[in-house]
Amino acid sequence: MSLIKNDFVVKNKYSRPGAKRVVTRAIVLHYTANLGGTAKNHQNYFDGSDGGGGRYAGAQVFVDKNEALAIMPLQEMAYQANEASCRIAALKGSLGGYTGNANVTSVGVEMCIERDGSIATATFNRTVDVVVELCKLYNLSSSDLYRHYDVTGKNCPAPWVARPNDWGRFKDAVAAKLKGDTTSDKFYTYAPDHVKSLKEIGLYSDVKLSKDKQIKRYAKGTKLTIIGVEYDGKTPRLRTAKGYITANKENVKGYHDYIGTIKILTDDLNYYDTARWDKADGQVKKGEVYTVVKKLGSGHYLLKSGRYITSNSKHVKFVENE
């Protein structure tokens, strides 16, 4: 049974031109950049004769925490990977007199984002499963996955441009599931920056976590820095600077390096897709809270969403992580 439900928009020249692609060489990952929008919100937006406000845009599939919707047949072309430029030679293509590059040769998958601009874990996991399904349908592998950024240089999906490790984690999860490995459902198969113990756990000097190699016990709630993943056979373990701990998600919860949060103090504050001050890409509202990855010398905060916003205390209140 497919994870993708069909909810097609009407044919229109902007979001569903109706042209059939003749080849599928890749899957291109995007994010909607629409804070809090659902897959159905976007289906509604792109439906109608003006196809989302009369601009050439869209994708075949939209994914949120609860569902994945195909807003057009997968084999139809979508204006999703920029017809003007293509940095991946293998994705260059044309359709009749239309030179659409990756629009012609790939399926676009859009991930919906939360109010804080992040990609929810449930959306991440559902997108993994959707992409696995598409890879099987088109006989593709994880090496055939690209960010919109990889294809055209656009800052999309911005969270994965800001944190390339999260993109690597996504591709690794797809690769594992294509091999029939469901280990990642129970264990961390990638290295989160840090973990917090959900119950008492042991630290061991060997990857087997042998009882006679136990160094110490960590209490519930202990925070540890992770430097890698190693395997005992098929079972992953998390490696710290002092030894090995369990990678079981029932025992530890992974998280990444975020220095704190900001609360917006002024109305309609500009944000940017790069660390600049001209040509704002959008605005945030007073009272909203966002997660901060780091503070830049340019006077910006880099947010978890991959966006940039002023670090001026007149406009934002910063709260450091404990």
- In this structure, how many other beta carbons lie within 10 angstroms of the beta carbon of residue 261? 19
Check residue 229 and give its pLDDT: 83
Residue ending a domain, choose from 215, 237, 255: 255
Whether residue 282 is found in the same domain as residue 219:
no
Check residue 217 and give its pLDDT: 96
Give the pLDDT confidence of 221-257 residue by residue, as tens digits. Answer: 999 988 888 888 878 899 999 999 999 999 999 877 7
Whether residue 250 is found in the same domain as residue 264:
no
Check residue 237 and give its pLDDT: 93
* CA–centroid distance for 319 within its chain: 25
In a domain, 178, yes or no: no
Check residue 47 and give its pLDDT: 92
Per the structure, the complete domain to which residue 104 belongs is given by 4-162
CATH number at residue 19: 3.40.80.10
| Residue 322: pLDDT over 70 | no
C-alpha 16/C-alpha 57 separation (Å) is 9
In a domain, 236, yes or no: yes
Whether residue 268 is found in the same domain as residue 134:
no
Check residue 101 and give its pLDDT: 86
Whether residue 13 is found in the same domain as residue 139:
yes
Mean pLDDT for the stretch of residues 151-175? 91
C-alpha 72/C-alpha 55 separation (Å) is 17
Whether residue 295 is found in the same domain as residue 205:
no
Query: What is the number of domains present in the chain?
Result: 3
C-alpha 252/C-alpha 194 separation (Å) is 10
Using H for helix, E for strand and C for coil, what is the string for 155-214? CCCHHHHHCHHHHHHHHHHHHHHHCCCCHHHHECCCCCCEEEECCCEEEECCCCCCHHHE
Give the pLDDT confidence of 57-103 residue by residue, as tens digits. Answer: 999 999 999 999 999 999 999 999 976 788 998 898 888 777 778 99
Give the mean pLDDT of the chain. Answer: 90
CATH number at residue 283: 2.30.30
In a domain, 169, yes or no: no
Confidence band (pLDDT; 50, 70, 90) for 220?
A: very high
Whether residue 221 is found in the same domain as residue 267:
no
| Residue 279: pLDDT over 70 | yes
